Structure 1
C-alpha cells in the first residue's frame, strides 16, 4: 500500500508504545503476507530449508456464525472469510491488491467491453465443469427482482449495462443486460461506462458463480450436504453454533497450489476464550477480522507475545449509525448533538488500545484518490467535537419535536466484549455531556444484521470495510436503492452525485462529487457517526505462513500453510 501521512502517523503512534509491527495476514460489518502456497515445493520444503508440517489443518475462530453461505445474500466479514475458501470469481486479488486470473484464465478489455476466457479445467466440487452459464445464472439471481430476500449487494452489479433497469423491473428480459454467454468458456460483459476497478469487483462474493442445482432450492445455502462449490475448499462440516470445517477440494483447478488439507473454524463469541485457546495451542491465529484480542489484554500480549503480535492500518471504519426514520433520531439536530459529544481520542487511547485513528469522515485512509490517497486530498474535517454547541443543538431539536425530555433511547451492538466496552464508554459520555440516559443492548450477529436491515433500531454499532480500492465502496452504499442503506437515507442530491461519479471519466470530478456526498452523509444529515479508523490486530503463530491480509483488512487463508514446529 502506498505510503501516506496518515499511515506514517499510525506507525509512529504504535512504535511509540513498543508495538512490533509486522506484515500479517474485522467481526466487522469486508496484502502484505507473501503467497506461500505458490512458493512451496512439492517436496514439502520452503526455500529449501523449512519443512511443511505433516498435519496441514489450520485452526481459527469465527466470533459469529455466518448467516448464510449464499453469495447473493452474504454481506458480512464472517461470511466473506469462509466464502473465499469455497468459491472463486473470474479474478482473485493477489498480495499486492491487484486482480489476477482465477476462474478466468485471461480477459480482453475494449473500453466498456470485457471478454473473459474461462479455464477449461475449472470444475465444481461434484466434477461438473464451471462454465460461463454458471456466472450468468448467478448474476441473474442477484439482479432478479423476484429473488427473495432481495440481495443486499445487487447494486454492485449496476456497473453492467441495464443491470439496474432489470433489478428495478424496468426491463424484464435478462438478455438485455450486458452479460452474454458466447460459449461454455467465453463470457462477454458490457459496462455502462469505463470502471477502472471492475476486474477487482469480479473477485467479490456477489460476483461468484453458483451451481445451477440451487434453482428453486431455498435451503441449499444453509445445508452443508447441498453445497457444490468451485473454490479451493469444500464445506464438509457445519455444526451450528459450534464449528465450520472446509476440506481441500480435489477438483479445484489450482489444487497443486493449495497446501492446507483442512481449515477448522470454531464458533466462539468470547475474546477471552479465543485468546486462551490461542495460548494453549488450540488456534493458529486469533484476532481481526473474524475475532478479537480483548482490548484489556493488548498491552500484555504486546510484551508477552511480541513476535506473534501483528498490527496493521487498514481501510476500514468503525461508526455508529442513526435510524433516520425512528424517534428521536429523525431530527437532524439531535443526531448532530449526539455525534459531537463523544471524545474519539479518549476511546482509542483508553478503550480500544490498538493505535486506531479518530474518525471525522467515513472514507478511511488507504483508499485511492486522484493523485494521492483520497483522505489526503479530501480532509475528514466534516464536523468537530463541541459539547457546548451540541447542548444548544439538542435543545433546539427537542423544541422542534415538542419534547420536554427525550424518548427512551437504546444503543444496539452485536455481541462482542470490544463493542460492549465502546458502547458503555459512549453511553457514559452522552450521560455526562448531554444528561441523556442511554440503554445499551447486545444482539446475536444474525439478529443484529436483520434488525438493522429492517430499520428496527434507534442507534446501532457498525463497521465497513472496503470491497475494492476506490471511495465509491464507502459511498454508494447510502444511495436510495442500495440494499446496504440501513439508515433510511433518501437524498436525491446524494443519489445524483454518486450516479455522476459512476459515469464520468473525469477523476477530478469524481473526487469533487465524493467530497460533496460525504458532506451530505456526515456533515449535513449526520446519518452516520464516525468513531475511528480501524487497525487490524491479531496474534499469529510463527509457523503459520502465507496468510494474505489486504489493504482493507480482508483475509484470505487459501494459500496459507503450516511449517513443522
Structure 2
C-alpha cells in the first residue's frame, strides 16, 4: 500500500558478484509507485526553521563511526558523515567522497580518487556558528580505517575490514607488542596524496566498493579525536563532514541534528533540523503521530504499534499514510550455542521448528512480512529464500506436522515434552518485541508443556553488552532476539560477517570450522555461480545442520508518513537520506493549527 504523496523506493534484487568489473543488477521485482509531477516544496519564511519532527526509539550507544554496530547509532551517523562511496535507491554503489575508483588487473589493489570540496566542520556551542576545519583528505580515510582496526579502539565491527591486507593481524595484535607500529604501517590502506587513497586486499573482492560505503571506513577527524578521545562525538565537540551535524544530545531524553550550511550540496537540503525526544514506547510515539507532534512512524523511532495495524489499515486517512515495502532485513532468534541445553543442535532445531511463523505474521505483526527459513532475505546476492531445500521444515503449510517433528526432535535430544528445560528468552525493550516474544513463548508452551521459558528484557545498550561474544555465558540468555539488515546486499555481509567464528557480531557463539572455510572461500571466489553454491552450503550448515539461529521473518518497511512529507527517499541499504527529503512547510503548519 502506497500513500498519495511521493515516495521513491526502488527495491531491486541484486546480484553483486566478486568480479573486478564490479556489480551487476538483476531485474527489478517490486515496482515503484507512480510519481507525481515534480514540484518545489514551499520554503519557510526567513525567520522559521524547516524541521523534521520525529522520535528516537532508544539512546544511540555511540555516534563514533568506528564504534557503531546498531541501527540507532548508524542512522544518525549516516546523516552526519559520508564515506568514499554510498548506495542509491536501487542499492547500487555510487560515488560520494570518491569521484571514481578502479582495481588492478589482479583485483588486489583498489585506487580511489576523491573530491576536494567536502570539509570538516564543527558547530561552536558558544556562538552557534559553523567552523570550517579544512577539507576531508585521503589521509583522513587512512587514519579512519586504521583507527577502526586499532585494538585500542575496540571496534566490534572491525572484522568486516579483514579483506584489507594486514587488517586482521593489526586488529588482533597485542598493543604492547614491540612490532605494534609495524603492524599498523602494514595495513593495506595508504594515502598517495590528498585526494588519492589506495587499498591492498588479501584476495580479489568485487564487492569492495560496497565495503568503502560502510561507516567503519568513513574518514575520521584525527585532530578532534586525539584532543578528546572519549568525548569527541558529543554535542559541542563532534566534527563531521556530512549534510547534518549534532547540535544537542540530552542523553536519554532528546537529540537534535541541524543542517550543515558548509555542506557541498547545502543549497539542495531543504530540511534544516531533525529533532525529537528519545521515546521507548511505540504506543506513546503513535499518540504523538496522531496528534501531529511528529511527522513519521519510522526510523530512527518506531514503526506503527502491532495492535494498531488493523485500525490503521481500516482508517481512511491513516491507511493513505501507511507505507509497506520489502526490506533487506531478517528478524531472528539466536541460540547461545555454548550454553546448555542449546549446545545440542537437536534442541535448537526443535525450538526453531515449533514457531508458527505464518500465524505470527497473520495475527500479530500484520506488516506483510514473509516467513523466514534462511538467514539472508530476498534481494541479497547468494540468498536461498526461494529454496525450500534449506530450512523448509520451518515454514511448512501443515503446522501440525511441523509441530510433531519439533516434538520428536526434542524427545530424541533427551527432553521429552521439554522436561528439564528452564531457559530465558531475552529481547531489548520494545512493546513489539515483547508481544512477539509472548506469542512465541505460548507456542513453545503448547509444543513442550514441561519446558519453562522466561521472558526478560534489557535496555538496548545494556542488551548489546550482554550479547557480545566475549561476555560471560552465565550472564547471557539461552535465546536472544535480533535483526540483521544489509550493510551491502551480498551474502558476505550475512553469513560471513555475522556468523564467522571470528565475528564480533557472532552473538550465537557459533563455531564450525567447515562453515568458516566455506564463507571465506566464497569471499575469495570470482565466479558468481560458484559463490551462489558456496553460500547455499553455508546456509545449509548454519540453518539445516547446526540450526545456530531460528529465522522468523523477512522484514518489510512498515511506516507512517504525514502527507506534508512530499519527498521521501529510502535506500534499501542505507535507509533514510533525510538531506534528500522535503516538507511542505505550510501544510505542516496548517495541520498543527499554526
TM range (shorter): 0.7 to 0.9
Runs (4+) of structure 1 exceeding 6 A deviation are 19-23
CA RMSD of superposed structures (Å): 2.4
2: CA distance, partners of 1:535 / 1:314: 5
2:484 maps to 1:464:
yes
Aligned pairs for 1:538-549 within 5 A:
538-549=559-570
How far does residue 115 in structure 1 lie from its aligned partner after superposition?
1.8
Query: CA 1:197 to 1:356, structure 2 compared with 1: closer, same or farther past 3 Å?
Result: same
The C-alpha deviation readout for 1:525-565, integer Å capped at 9, x for no partner, is: 11100111111100111221333222247222121121131
Partner Cα separation in structure 1 for residue 187 and residue 414 of structure 2: 49
Pairs aligned (count): 524
Is structure 2 residue 213 aligned with structure 1 residue 219? no
Q: Secondary structure of the residue that 2:297 maps to in structure 1?
A: strand
- The 1:388/1:378 distance shift into structure 2, 3 A limit, reads closer
- State the distance in 1 between where 2:433 and 2:258 align: 32
2:174 is the counterpart of 1:164? no
Match of 1:347 among 342, 350, 360: 360
Matches within 5 A, 1:83-102: 83-102=77-96
Match of residue 367, structure 1, among 380, 387, 394: 380
1:6-45 to 2 correspondences below 5 Å: 24=7, 31-32=9-10
182 and 69 in structure 1: CA distance in 2 versus 1, 3 angstrom threshold: same
Deviations 1:346-401 (A, max 9, x none): 000001011111111111112134xxx7534686435336222222322232369x
CA distance in 1, matches of 2:103, 2:490: 20
Cross-structure match for 2:120: 124
- Deviation of the 1:310 alpha carbon: 0.4
Alignment of 1:295 onto 2:326: no
The correspondence for 1:525, drawn from 532, 546, 550, is 546
Question: Structure 1 446/49 Cα, relative in aligned 2: closer, same or farther at 3 Å?
Answer: closer
Structure 1, unaligned stretches of length 5 or more?
1-14, 26-30, 34-45
Render the CA deviation track for 1:128-168: whole Å, top value 9, x for unaligned.
22111111111111112332xx2121121122222223223
Q: 1:460 to 1:438 in 2, by over 3 A?
A: same
Q: Which residue of 2 aligns with 1:51?
A: 42
CA distance in 2: counterparts of 1:417 and 1:390, whole angstroms: 28
Match of 2:185 in 1: 175
| Higher deviation after alignment, 153-162 or 319-328 | 153-162
| Aligned-partner SS, 1:539 | strand
Structure 1 residues 197-276: aligned runs within 5 Å: 197-212=207-222, 213-215=224-226, 217-220=228-231, 223-276=234-287
Which fold has the larger relative contact order, with Cα–Cα distance below 8 Å and residues 6 or more apart in sequence?
A: 1
1:104 aligned onto 2:98 = yes
User: Take 1:22 and 1:339, find their aligned partners in 2: how far apart are those partners?
Assistant: 40
Distance change in 2, residues 1:406/1:548 (3 Å): farther
Q: Distance in 1 between matches of 2:143 and 2:339?
A: 38
Change (3 A) 1:478 1:133: same
Contact 1:316 1:553 in 2 (8 A): no
SS of equivalent to 1:510: helix
Counterpart contact for 2:80–2:242, Cα < 8 Å:
yes
Asked if 1:512 is matched to 2:548, the reply is: no
Asked whether the 8 Å contact 2:374–2:385 carries over to 1, the reply is no
Once the two structures are superposed, the pairs formed by residues 65-80 of structure 1 within 5 Å of their partners are 65-80=59-74
Report how far residue 437 of structure 1 moved: 2.2
Name 2:150's counterpart in structure 1: 144
Q: Give 2:202's aligned residue.
A: 192
TM-score between both structures, scaled by the size of structure 2:
0.83
Compared CA separation, residues 380 and 555, structure 1 to 2 (3 A): farther
* C-alpha contact 2:118 2:241 (8 A) present in aligned 1: yes
Answering whether residue 388 of structure 2 is matched by residue 394 of structure 1, we say no
Displacement of 1:20 in angstroms is 6.4
TM score, norm. by length of structure 1: 0.87
CA offsets 1:394-438 (integer angstroms, 9 cap, x no match): 2232369xx994242111011111111110010011111111221
Unpaired runs of at least 5, structure 2: 12-36, 123-131, 397-401, 588-594
Contact 1:81 1:556 (8 Å CA) reproduced:
no
For structure 1, which segment, 312-321 or 192-201, has the greater mean C-alpha deviation from structure 2 after superposition? 192-201
Secondary structure at 2:425's aligned position in 1? strand
8 A contact 1:288–1:537 mirrored in 2: no
Q: Does the Cα contact within 8 Å between 1:316 and 1:534 map onto a contact in 2?
A: yes
Q: Are residues 1:115 and 2:150 paired? A: no
Per-residue deviation, 1:47:
4.1
SS, match of residue 538 in structure 2: helix
Task: Describe the shift of the 1:49–1:181 C-alpha distance in structure 2 as closer, same or farther (beyond 3 A).
Answer: closer
CA pair 251-293 structure 1, distance change in 2 beyond 3 A? same
* Matched-pair contact (CA < 8 Å) for 1:243–1:265: yes
The one of 450, 466, 475 equivalent to 1:451 is 466
Q: Secondary structure at the match of 1:487?
A: coil
- Residue matched to 1:135: 141
Aligned counterparts of 1:313 and 1:504: Cα–Cα separation in 2: 29
Corresponding residue number in structure 2 for 1:28: none
Kept after mapping to 2: 8 A contact 1:378/1:515:
no
Distance 1:210 1:115 in 2: 19
Deviations 1:267-307 (A, max 9, x none): 10111111111111111111356412011111211232122
Structure 1 residue 185: Cα displacement = 1.8
